[in-house]
Structure 1
């Protein structure tokens, strides 16, 4: 059975890139959201196996969204994405409950490695 994944990023081309990498590797992308607020709503609606979440977004950032999702489901699996130089935010995201992080620009093998590790 393929694992369902929700992709959250305010840049549509980033969502498209991640979706492309995941679907080519047999994962099912069940939803996309462009900010943290929508991510929380979509998580509740879709209950995906994994969320790939950007940190810096409008309305609600990724860290706040991680906290909200973790309140709904303590077992939620979340992988954060961040641009270079956001180490403090990555640490904050991990403390909030994220399981791993990938750095932009993405390398397909690193995305798949993080996803497989977290879903294992």
Structure 2
């Protein structure tokens, strides 16, 4: 089954790079958003299998977004991969409800591995 991956990061370079790599190395459909305020409504509309989110974003932070996803009955089963360069980010991400945390800069193979493991369970 073809999985859907939704990426939300305010850095369009990271979004573009991740989308390109994940499209190349997985059979997933990859959707992206750089405005965290639009992410929740798009998540509800698209119902992805995997949500990759940056922790540090303006206006609506990644941990706030993760909490909203976990509190939404339509979305709360999504695998959430959170990424950040902040020192205390892992604790914040896991506390908010992320399943996996990857520190920035991360090895792209770690991201592919995290996505692929979930995609094979499908």
TM above 0.5, yes or no, is yes
Aligned to 1:61: 61
Aligned to 2:32: 32
> What is the deviation of 1:118?
4.0
1:79 lines up with 2:75 in the alignment: no
TM-align CA RMSD: 1.5
- In the alignment, is the contact (CA less than 8 A) between 1:10 and 1:35 conserved in 2? yes
Counterparts in 2 of 1:1-120, with a 5 A limit? 1-26=1-26, 27-29=28-30, 31-72=31-72, 73-83=75-85, 86-119=86-119, 120=121
Aligned residues: 117
Give the secondary structure class of the aligned counterpart of 1:2. Answer: coil
Partner Cα separation in structure 1 for residue 102 and residue 67 of structure 2? 19
> What is the deviation of 1:20?
1.2
- Unaligned stretches of 5+ residues in structure 2: none
Deviations 1:84-117 (A, max 9, x none): xx24222121121101022222322111111123
TM-score, normalised to structure 2, is: 0.87
Deviates more, 1:68-77 or 1:10-19: 68-77
Partner Cα separation in structure 2 for residue 53 and residue 61 of structure 1? 9
